[in-house]
C-alpha cells in the first residue's frame, strides 16, 4: 500500500545523478506523493571519477541541472508518479518564495519538506577555513532549511499538519577533523529540528533529522579523494580506513537514506518528532 498517497512533497538539492535527494524524490513518489524536485541553476560536473557514477566521469562532461531534474521527473512519471521540477537556490529568499508559490499553484498545498541540499564548503583544517567558506556553508546547510521551513509552515498549519525532514549527518552528532564548517552547521540543523518539533507540534507538524553516515554519493567520494590526497594514500586505503569504524564495514546507499525519509514522512511515524535518526551502518560519532 502506498503510504503517502495524495501528499505533496518538496525536495531540495535533488538533481545529482547519484545523490541522496534524487533517491528521496524517487522513493516519496513511489509511496504516492507528488514531488517537487528542486536544485540550483547551472551545470553539474563531477570533478572526479568514482566506481559509483561511471556515466558522469569528467570524460563525459557536464550536464545541466535542469536536464538532470527533467530526467528525474521523467523517471518518476515512468513509475506512474507525478513530479514538477523547479530551480531553487536555498540561500535565496526570492527563489524560495517563487518555488513555494509555484508549488501551491500547481498542487494547491505542501505536506512534506525535505531539506536535503548540502554543501561541504569550508571542509579544510579549521585554521585554513575562510569566513566566506563558513558563510557559504551556513547559507546552504542551515539558513536555507530555516528560510524554507518559515516559507512552508503557514501552508502546513492551514492543512492541519505536515512533515519537515532535515538531512543532517554524523557531523550533526559528533566531529572529525577537517569538517569544521559542515559539522557546526549540521549540529545547528539539529537545533532547528528540535525547535520546529517543539514549536509546531501543536499544529501537527512533525520535524525530524535523518543523519546519514558514509553514503556512496559523489559528495562522499569527493571527501574520500580529498582526504587521500591530503594524507598521501590511495583512495582505496582512505576508504578502508574510514570504513574500518563502520560496524557494517561499508558505505551505505542513497536508497538507505530514502527509506528513512519515507518512514518519517509516512503514517508509521505519526508519533515521532524531534529525533535524529542515524543511517550509518553503525559508526562512532567522534567527539
Ligand atoms: P550532493 O550529491 O552534492 O547533493 C547535494 C545537492 O545540493 C547538490 O545537487 C548540490 O549542488 C545542492 N546544492 C548545493 N548548494 C545548493 C543551494 N544553495 N541550493 C540548492 N541546492 C544546493 O550530496 P549528497 O551526498 O547527495 O548529500 C545530500 C545531503 O546528505 C546533504 O545535506 C549532505 O550534507 C547529506 N549527507 C551526505 C552524506 C554522504 O555520505 N553522501 C553523509 C552525510 C550527510 P552542488 O553540487 O552544486 O553543490
In a domain, 2, yes or no: no
In a domain, 3, yes or no: no
Domains held by the chain: number = 1
- pLDDT at 286 (0 to 100): 81
Q: Give residue 149's domain range.
A: 8-279
In a domain, 54, yes or no: yes
Ligand 1 pocket: which of 48, 119, 182 to mutate (most atoms within 8 A of CB): 119
Nearest 5°: the CA angle 249, 252, 255 is: 160
Measure 142 CA to ligand 1 centroid, in angstroms. 13
Strand partners, 140: none
DSSP codes joined into one string, 126-175: GGG--HHHHHHHHIIIIIHHHHHHHHHHHHHHHHT-EEEEEE--GGGT--
In a domain, 233, yes or no: yes
The structure's pTM equals 0.93
Grid cell, residue 122, equals 569550508
Pick the residue whose CA is nearest to atom 31 on ligand 1: 118
Q: How would you class 59 by CB atoms within 10 Å of its CB: exposed for 0-12, middle for 13-18, buried for 19 or more?
A: exposed
User: Residue 217: CB within 6 Å of ligand 1?
Assistant: yes
Q: How far apart are CA 219 and CA 227, in angstroms?
A: 13
Instruction: Write out the chain's pLDDT in tens, 287 residues.
Output: 899 999 999 999 999 988 999 999 999 999 999 999 999 998 876 544 333 343 444 334 568 999 999 999 999 999 999 999 999 999 999 999 999 999 999 999 999 999 999 998 998 899 999 999 999 999 999 999 999 999 999 999 999 999 999 999 999 999 989 999 999 999 999 999 999 999 999 999 999 999 999 999 987 888 788 889 989 999 999 999 989 989 999 999 999 999 999 999 999 999 999 999 999 999 988 88
Give the rounded distance of the alpha carbon of 74 from its chain centre.
Answer: 21
Measure 1 CA to ligand 1 centroid, in angstroms. 30
In a domain, 1, yes or no: no
Closest residue by Cα to residue 35 from 91, 79, 67, 95: 79
Place of cell 545523490: 19
In a domain, 70, yes or no: yes
Q: How far apart are CA 7 and CA 33, in angstroms?
A: 5
- pLDDT at 62 (0 to 100): 64
Report phi then psi at 226, rounded to 5. Answer: -65, -45
CATH number, position 102: 3.40.50.720
User: Residue 239: CB within 6 Å of ligand 1?
Assistant: no
Measure 152 CA to ligand 1 centroid, in angstroms. 21
User: Residue 39: CB within 6 Å of ligand 1?
Assistant: yes
CB 13 within 8 A of CB 120: no
In a domain, 60, yes or no: yes
Q: Which residues are catalytic?
A: 182
CB 178 within 8 A of CB 231: no
In a domain, 286, yes or no: no
CB 215 within 8 A of CB 253: yes
Amino acid at each position: 500500500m502506498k503510504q503517502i498517497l495524495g501528499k505533496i512533497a518538496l525536495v531540495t538539492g535533488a538533481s545529482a545523478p547519484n545523490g541522496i535527494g534524487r533517491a528521496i524524490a524517487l522513493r516519496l513518489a513511489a509511496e504516492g506523493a507528488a514531488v517537487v524536485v528542486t536544485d540550483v541553476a547551472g551545470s553539474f560536473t563531477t570533478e572526479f571519477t568514482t566506481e559509483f557514477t561511471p556515466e558522469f566521469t569528467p570524460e563525459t562532461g557536464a550536464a545541466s541541472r535542469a536536464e538532470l531534474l527533467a530526467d528525474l521527473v521523467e523517471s518518476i512519471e515512468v513509475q506512474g508518479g507525478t513530479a514538477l521540477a523547479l530551480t531553487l537556490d536555498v540561500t535565496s529568499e526570492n527563489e524560495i518564495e517563487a518555488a513555494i508559490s509555484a508549488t501551491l499553484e500547481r498542487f494547491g498545498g505542501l505536506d512534506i519538506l525535505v531539506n536535503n541540499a548540502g554543501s561541504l564548503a569550508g571542509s579544510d583544517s579549521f585554521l585554513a577555513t575562510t569566513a566566506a567558506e563558513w558563510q557559504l556553508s551556513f547559507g546552504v546547510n542551515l539558513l536555507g532549511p530555516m528560510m524554507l521551513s518559515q516559507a512552508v509552515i503557514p501552508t502546513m498549519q492551514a492543512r492541519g499538519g505536515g512533515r519537515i525532514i532535515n538531512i543532517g549527518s554524523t557531523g550533526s552528532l559528533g566531529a572529525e577533523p577537517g569538517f569544521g564548517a559542515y559539522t557546526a552547521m549540521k549540529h545547528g540543523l539539529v537545533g532547528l529540528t528540535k525547535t520546529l518539533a517543539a514549536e509546531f507540534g501543536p499544529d501537527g507538524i512533525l520535524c525530524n533529522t535523518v543523519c546519514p553516515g558514509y553514503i556512496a554519493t559523489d559528495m562522499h567520494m569527493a571527501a574520500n579523494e580529498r582526504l587521500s590526497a591530503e594524507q598521501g594514500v590511495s583512495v582505496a586505503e582512505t576508504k578502508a580506513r574510514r570504513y574500518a569504524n563502520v560496524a557494517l564495514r561499508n558505505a551505505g546507499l542513497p536508497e538507505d537514506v530514502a527509506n528513512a525519509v519515507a518512514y518519517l514522512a509516512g503514517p508509521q511515524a505519526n508519533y515521532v518528532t524531534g529525533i535524529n535518526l542515524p543511517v550509518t551502518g553503525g559508526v562512532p560519532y567522534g567527539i
